[in-house]
């Protein structure tokens, strides 16, 4: 995979001349270009009808690679996880960016995005009122310092030092919404949405590979050029250090690239990570051979998960990522004891209808461990 670190200028973040023939910055809907004309054959992937085998999402696959016990807690035990303010802020920013592209191109300005923040927050609260409790959600006992810093940033703790208690709640909410607006400013530093017309947003993609392994996941944004080139875009808003978590992000993008190749016959030309907190973009160009190897990796990973289910053997894997985990009290590495393994028939474990854990509120974004 070839990496192309981009500058913060919107034009430099593009992979072809802006506005030129085939430019991804002139991306249009799929029916505006010869989508599917890539000469590389897609091969064995097929759209799922009634898959009988196991399933993987990029988040849960990355969970198992990161820590098998975390995978068990989320996918088999389905332990609930209260969201942090940093996670919910990511959800809010993703929602605003999705709505931004509903506006006419000329109206996609920083001011317009900022005006969407409060209404989108109200909409999220309407969907799940418990999100209002994020300001009191405790961090893990052994939280990574970066996790604590991200929470302080999302909740505006520094601005609340001299605020009277009676005014603290209003000030805290204002700081939270203001921090979301600051991340949107980071977005406008790396892209010009007035020059983009995404083909798809918040799209669920899926395919079946090998022996009935279902792959599925949500793409933040898919751009399609008039020539049929694909660019997969993923927004990153969290406060997690990039050196610690970039591997998970790249794994996620390769996952999407494989599913798109197997279902649409096109190897994405660009996989783009947009780091809104740092106002930076990072582009990657995958190749068919790399995606074939990645497919074999996912098949082997699925087999390892099935063996762990059969043996009821999901061991912790200590790393810096432990500082972001919400289940430290149940982890042997922190003196905890996991709950008894669920008494579920093996056939049910093999055909888990949903690889995502039960969570509070809408689908959370930018969970460093999810």
Residue 205's SS3 state is strand
- Does residue 211 contact residue 221 with C-beta atoms inside 8 Å? no
Kindly report the backbone phi and psi dihedral angles of residue 67, in degrees, each rounded to the nearest multiple of 5, phi listed first: -165, 110
Which range is least confidently modeled, 191-195, 258-262, 324-328, 337-341?
324-328
In the predicted structure, residue 22 carries a pLDDT above the cut 70: no
Task: Name residue 201's beta-bridge partners.
Answer: 221
Q: Which of 176, 85, 81 is nearest to 134 (CA)?
A: 85
Task: Name residue 223's beta-bridge partners.
Answer: 231
Q: What is the CA radius of gyration of the chain?
A: 21
Residue, of 354 and 268, whose pLDDT is higher = 268
Average pLDDT, the chain: 81
Question: Which range, 106-115, 135-144, 317-326, is most confident?
Answer: 106-115
Q: Please, where are the H alpha helices in the chain?
A: 58-66, 68-71, 85-100, 110-127, 145-155, 165-190, 242-264, 288-311, 346-350
- Does residue 253 contact residue 267 with C-beta atoms inside 8 Å? no
Q: What pLDDT shows up at residue 159?
A: 58
pLDDT, tens digit (0-9, with 9 covering 90-100), for 153-175: 777 666 555 666 667 678 888 99
In the predicted structure, residue 61 carries a pLDDT above the cut 80: yes
Task: Name residue 224's beta-bridge partners.
Answer: 230
- Does residue 250 contact residue 284 with C-beta atoms inside 8 Å? yes
pLDDT, tens digit (0-9, with 9 covering 90-100), for 196-247: 999 999 999 999 998 789 999 999 999 999 999 999 999 999 765 666 677 8
Which range is least confidently modeled, 47-56, 97-106, 219-228, 308-317?
47-56
Give the pTM. 0.80
- Does residue 56 contact residue 351 with C-beta atoms inside 8 Å? no
Q: What pLDDT shows up at residue 64?
A: 96
Burial class of residue 337, CB neighbours in 10 A (0-12, 13-18, 19+): exposed
Q: Average pLDDT in the 260-271 region?
A: 97
Q: What number of CA atoms fall less than 13 Å from residue 347's CA on the CB side?
A: 1
Q: What pLDDT shows up at residue 163?
A: 64
Q: Average pLDDT in the 118-123 region?
A: 97
- Does residue 103 contact residue 112 with C-beta atoms inside 8 Å? yes
Q: Average pLDDT in the 37-65 region?
A: 68
Q: What pLDDT shows up at residue 84?
A: 83
Q: Parse the chain into domains and list their residue ranges.
A: 2-298
Q: What separation in angstroms does the CA of 23 have from each of 193, 195, 319?
A: 14, 10, 41
The angle formed by the CA atoms of residues 208, 32 and 187, to the nearest 5 degrees, is 80
- Does residue 171 contact residue 179 with C-beta atoms inside 8 Å? no
- Does residue 24 contact residue 229 with C-beta atoms inside 8 Å? yes
Tokens of 13: 């973040």
pLDDT, tens digit (0-9, with 9 covering 90-100), for 354-367: 444 333 345 555 45
pLDDT, tens digit (0-9, with 9 covering 90-100), for 175-188: 999 999 999 999 99
- Write the DSSP assignment of 136-169 as a string of letters: GPPPPTT--HHHHHHHHHHHTGGGGTTS-HHHHH
């Amino acid at each position: 995979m070839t990496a192309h670190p981009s500058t913060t200028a919107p034009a430099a973040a593009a992979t072809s001349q802006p506005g030129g023939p085939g430019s991804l910055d002139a991306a249009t809907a799929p029916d505006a270009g010869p989508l599917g004309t890539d000469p590389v054959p897609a091969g064995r992937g097929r759209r799922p009808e009634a898959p009988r085998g196991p399933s993987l999402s990029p988040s849960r696959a990355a969970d198992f690679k990161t820590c098998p016990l975390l995978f068990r807690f989320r996918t088999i035990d389905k332990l609930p996880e209260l969201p942090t303010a940093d996670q919910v802020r990511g959800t809010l920013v993703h929602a605003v960016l999705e709505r931004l592209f509903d506006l006419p191109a000329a109206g996609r300005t920083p001011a317009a995005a900022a005006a969407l923040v409060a209404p989108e927050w109200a909409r999220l609260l309407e969907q799940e009122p418990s999100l209002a409790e994020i300001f009191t959600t405790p961090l893990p006992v052994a939280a990574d310092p970066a996790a604590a810093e991200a929470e302080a940033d999302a909740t505006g703790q520094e601005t609340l030092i001299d605020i009277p208690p009676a005014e603290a709640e209003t000030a805290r909410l204002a700081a939270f919404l203001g921090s979301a607006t600051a991340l949107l400013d980071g977005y406008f530093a790396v892209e010009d949405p007035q020059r983009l017309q995404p083909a798809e947003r918040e799209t669920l993609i899926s395919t079946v590979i090998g022996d009935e392994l279902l792959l599925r996941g949500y793409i933040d944004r898919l751009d399609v050029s008039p020539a049929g080139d694909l660019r997969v875009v993923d927004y990153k808003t969290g406060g997690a250090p990039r050196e610690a978590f970039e591997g998970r992000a790249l794994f996620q993008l390769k996952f999407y690239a494989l599913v798109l190749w197997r279902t649409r016959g096109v190897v994405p030309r660009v996989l783009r990570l947009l780091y809104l907190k740092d106002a930076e973009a990072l582009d990657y160009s995958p190749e068919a051979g790399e995606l074939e190897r990645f497919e074999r990796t996912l098949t082997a990973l699925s087999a390892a998960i099935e063996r762990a289910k059969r043996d009821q053997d999901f061991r912790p894997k200590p790393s810096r990522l432990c500082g972001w985990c919400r289940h430290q009290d149940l982890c042997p590495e922190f003196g905890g004891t996991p709950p008894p393994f669920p008494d579920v028939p093996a056939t049910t474990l093999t055909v888990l209808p949903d690889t995502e854990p039960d969570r509070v509120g809408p689908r959370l974004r930018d969970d460093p461990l999810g």
